Amino acid sequence: MSISLRINGEERLLDVDPEMPLLWVLRDVLGLTGTKYGCGAALCGACTVHLEGQVVRSCVTPVRRAQGKSVTTIEGLSPDGSHPLQRAWVEQGVPQCGFCQAGQLMTAAALLKEHPVPTDAQIDQSMAGNLCRCGTYCRIRDAIKKVSGGGR
């Protein structure tokens, strides 16, 4: 069965099992490897992408749910890494190993769309689904605040 969807602004027609999680369609079928596999159970957020602008965990999202819809991955967050969050992440030295950061950025980008100046509680709540084993949480918070103008 074929699925049609828009990925990072580009229309794609895919011949895949509609039950295949979006994560594996992105990684294994389309070669978009910026979105990471971390748990397969929506527990870690490494696979976070936007579906119609909303945060989804692509590891538990069957690709059929993206039929006719628009998907944005880390590769499409900005054309050249110039999204304010991406810039802040580099300037503030947020990443350590970097593996979870695509997911962190996608969640943070959605947060700022909804709450341009989020409170600490909103940041903690929105980002709660994104694990970072290296422990970059404090810097993630600071970087979000810097971009939103909510920081010191």
Separation between Cα atoms, residue 134 and residue 7, nearest integer Å: 30
Residues in 43-82 that interact with another protein by CB under 8 A? 43-44, 46, 73-75, 77, 80-81
The CA R_g of the chain, rounded to the nearest whole Å, is: 15
Asked if 27 is part of the footprint of another protein (rule: CB under 8 A), the reply reads yes
Is residue 124 near another protein by the rule CB under 8 A?
yes
* Residue in 6, 17, 51, 65 binding another protein, rule: CB under 8 A: 17
- Does 8 participate in binding another protein (rule CB under 8 A)? no
- Please, what is the minimum distance in Å from the beta carbon of residue 31 to another protein? 6
Give the bridge partners for 55, in sequence order: 50
131 binding another protein? (CB under 8 A): yes
Contact 83, 77 (CB under 8 A): yes
Q: Which of 7, 109, 110, 123 binds another protein (CB under 8 A)?
A: 123
Answer positive or negative: Cα dihedral of 141, 142, 145, 151.
positive
Kindly tell me which residue out of 86, 112, 145, 150 binds another protein, with binding defined by CB under 8 A.
86
Please tell me the distance from the alpha carbon of residue 100 to that of residue 116, in angstroms, as a whole number: 23
Measured CA distances, 82 to 76, 85, 90 (Å): 11, 8, 10
Among 6, 18, 40, 70, which residue interacts with another protein (rule: CB under 8 A)? Answer: 40
Nearer to another protein among residue 55 and residue 77 (C-beta):
77
User: What distance separates the 2 farthest-apart alpha carbons in the chain?
Assistant: 52
Measured CA to CA, the distance from residue 137 to residue 120 in angstroms comes to 12
Residues engaged in binding another protein (CB under 8 A): 17, 20-21, 24, 27-29, 31-41, 43-44, 46, 73-75, 77, 80-81, 85-86, 89-90, 93, 95-102, 105, 123-125, 127-128, 130-141
